[in-house]
Structure 1
Amino acid sequence: MVMESTGLREKKKNARYRSIVNKAEQLFLDKGLDHVQMQDIADADGIGIATLFRYFPKKDKLIVAVAVANLEKNIETYKELAGSNQTAYERLEQVLDFLTKDDQLQSAVKFREAFESYASFAKSPLDDIQDYIDTQKEIARIFMSIIDDGRTDGSIRTNIPVKETLITIINAYGTFGNNIALKSPISYLEDDIAPANQRRILKEMLLTYIRP
């Protein structure tokens, strides 16, 4: 009998972990967080319920794992945008554009909205919620590098609280873009108030405020 190496076992374990998380995310999106049972996820991934519970002993742990993976998908892109050779102003503009790209405003946004609502109504903090918070902090640190550069390259006003202003801009623009994208199937029937036009106008307003 050939024994598997530790490395191979870890690779299989990691692949299974990712597969469970991916299947769970799709089920949560299709049915809603409250309506998906652990057995549904096990069936979707083709594993036994006991195997699923070895990875995620509680449903809340799996929900948070999906939320963390959802955030982590874009970290490398954020790093690339933050590390480009353009001015801080130009990099910030690119970040805002990325936050509201059409392909960004589908399943990822829908799940984050559902998760944060679910977490806010939980009677006690979700298991492993600190992992989600830490991932948010990691993303914030990436944006901070843009802020620091903006203080020295002259592309952003220095007579405003730069850190607070830029984080507010990113949060406000991202939240606004997410909100109107999710509502667009039932609202904004006229072309002149379409989500894309509203995002463009808001971006111009926000960026005008920080120009020197």
Structure 2
Amino acid sequence: MTQGLREKNKNARYQSIVSTAEQLFLERGLDSVQMQDIADAEKIGIATLFRYFSRKDSLIVAVAIQNLERTIPVFQQIALSPKSAYERLEDTLNYVLANQTQSRSNSTKFREAFESYASFSKEPLPNIQDYIDTQKQVSLMLGPIIEDGQRDGSLRQDISIKESIMTIINAYGIFGNNIVLKSEITYLEEIQPEIQQKLLKEMLLSYVRAK
């Protein structure tokens, strides 16, 4: 077997392990799934699994990174579209809304579970900096919206565009995660989660929209 083919097979196995682990984590929870469960689902020996990931926490972080990386092409496409900065910001929030509400979004569920898991960890998770760097890469996708918002007149010029856009996206994402994933305990009678999300979107957009 050639070096290139071995590397390709290794990468394919790596991706398969990560995908399998993500599905098991979603079905059973991060704490309940053991490395043996993942090895069994992959039909590989536990020693083989440990050659790829020496600890379960390493695998959890790898799943989180892959999960987050799936959003990068979409954010990039939105940010580089020929629309005004305001329209692209609205498209970004629409994507966040759609991503959260589609089948209660497995991606959103995992990220919420992961960030809670990481925050309660007694020590930093292995390779957590790689996850943080991926978050920064997602944030950089918003650069063209921020830059054009300072030029095209579609956003207010009397506020800090960068801080406002980043705050809006973070606040909208956090609110959506809570109200969609925890709807059974945060549900307000006669006000469905989707309605609350759309109302908040309008409120946030009205703050930055040029008059």
- The TM-score with structure 1 as length reference comes to 0.94
Amino acid at match of 2:4: G
Q: Is 1:97 aligned to 2:98, yes or no?
A: no
Distance 2:31 2:110 in 1: 13
Matched residues in 2 for 1:134 and 1:37: separation?
27
- Picking from 198, 203, 206, the partner of 1:205 is 203
Q: Distance in 2 between matches of 1:186 and 1:7?
A: 52
Asked if 1:59 is matched to 2:50, the reply is no
Counterpart Cα distance in 2 of 1:106 and 1:145: 27
Question: What are the ranges of 5 or more consecutive residues in structure 2 without an aligned counterpart?
Answer: none
Per the TM alignment, residue 145 of structure 1 is displaced from its structure 2 partner at its CA by 1.9
**In 2, are the aligned partners of 1:100 and 1:178 still within 8 Å (CA)?**
no
- Which residue is 2:82 aligned to? 85
Instruction: Give the direction of change, closer, same or farther, for the CA distance of 1:195–1:77 in structure 2 (3 Å limit).
Output: same
* Amino acid paired to 2:44: I
Alignment equivalent of 2:47, drawn from 37, 42, 50: 50
- Listed one character per residue, the Cα deviations across residues 128-157 of structure 1 (whole Å, up to 9, x for unaligned) are 000100000000111122111100011100
Q: Is the 8 A contact 1:87 1:155 kept in 2?
A: yes
- Aligned mates of 1:142, 1:187 — CA distance in 2: 31
Provide the residue aligned with 1:72 in structure 2: 69
Deviations 1:4-37 (A, max 9, x none): 1111111111111111001101111111111111
State the number of aligned residues: 208
One-letter identity of the residue aligned with 1:125: P
Q: Distance in 1 between matches of 2:83 and 2:103?
A: 23
Cα deviation, residue 184, structure 1: 2.3
TM, length-normalised to structure 2: 0.95
Does structure 2 conserve the Cα–Cα contact (< 8 Å) formed by 1:105 and 1:178? Answer: no
RMSD: 1.3
Residues 188 and 195 in structure 1, CA contact (< 8 A), matched pair in contact too: yes
Which range moved further: 64-73 or 27-36?
Answer: 27-36
Q: Identity across aligned pairs (percent)?
A: 61
Note closer, same or farther for the CA distance 1:119–1:105 as it changes in structure 2 (3 Å cut): same
Q: Which amino acid aligns with 2:197?
A: R
Aligned match of 1:129: 128
Distance in 1 between residues matched to 2:10 and 2:79, nearest whole Å: 33
Which aligned runs of 4 or more in structure 1 are off by greater than 2 angstroms? 102-105, 184-190
